[in-house]
Amino acid sequence: MWRRIVLNVLIGVLRGILYYIVFWVLISWLISSVFGVPFEQPLHLAVLVLGVFTGLGVVSSCVKSFIGIIFSVLSSLLALGLVVGILGGVVSTRLEYSGVIVEANLDFTPLLVLIVGFTVVYTIMECFERIVELEE
Amino acid sequence: MYAGFRYAVVVLSILTIFILLLPLLFFAWDIIQNPECIVLKFENASYINSEEIKADMVVSYCSSIPLRNVRIQVGSRSLEFDLISREATFKQEIILTERDLEEGIRVLEANIGGLYRLILKFEKA
């Protein structure tokens, strides 16, 4: 019994950390390194996001499967909210070159749409998997 | 069964994101290798009256990733090119005032590979 609870909590924590790494750390790193724009987020926000992802992950894996689906979907919605809301689809930077100030804006909406699309597909498949588990 | 599909979706998403990033990476690489990749020149300039000058704007470009829907604003006048590709020069006539020439190029907009909209605004420091 206790072993199962600890295992579920561990799975939930790992799932939360995975979501945090993919949707907070990895995507921010990808955007800042590919587009060459510094992308800094406040530490308290990062801790809050990690906490919420971990919390949702733990609840999702500890409660019964049909309720857990709701928390999994909430994790994905939070991830989508972060991707769309914070990254926003446009990166901007200002630089000086030979006495001229250049303001550069790059719209990467196609990339963002792709990430959102795959996240939605992944979430739907996760839900189906849980429903199938529930029926078995 | 669904776990297999999920991993397939993850692998597919990573591959697709990588493929979608390729035009941008190639463009950035070409620009880093040759900072003067996009060259804008005025040729055959001649006065048409005391205030206005008629000239040809010539654009040459070095990257293998084509630029689409290019808009160049010189002073208050702008001109557009549907496509600018590698190793070809593109010419378009433009009528400018002396003030436009003094202000120079203010905005350059282009779709990198038809995907990513890049807007560069220039201001004198």
Contacts of B32 (CB under 8 A, 6+ apart): none
Domain that holds residue B109: 2-121
pLDDT in tens, A65-97: 778 888 888 988 888 888 888 777 778 888 887
**ipTM exceeding 0.85, yes/no:** no
Q: Residue B6 and residue A129: Cβ atoms within 8 Å?
A: yes
Instruction: Mark out chain B residues that contact chain A at CB-CB < 8 A.
Output: 1-3, 5-6, 9-10, 12-13, 16-17, 20-21, 24-25, 28, 115-125
The pTM for the full model equals: 0.78
> What is the C-alpha separation between B117 and B70, in angstroms, rounded?
10
Q: How many domains would you assign to chain B? A: 1
pLDDT at A30 over 90: no
Longest CA–CA separation in chain A, Å:
70
Q: Find how far residue A40's CA is from the centre of its chain.
A: 16
- CATH code for the domain of B44: 2.60.40
Element (H, E) at B10: helix B2-33
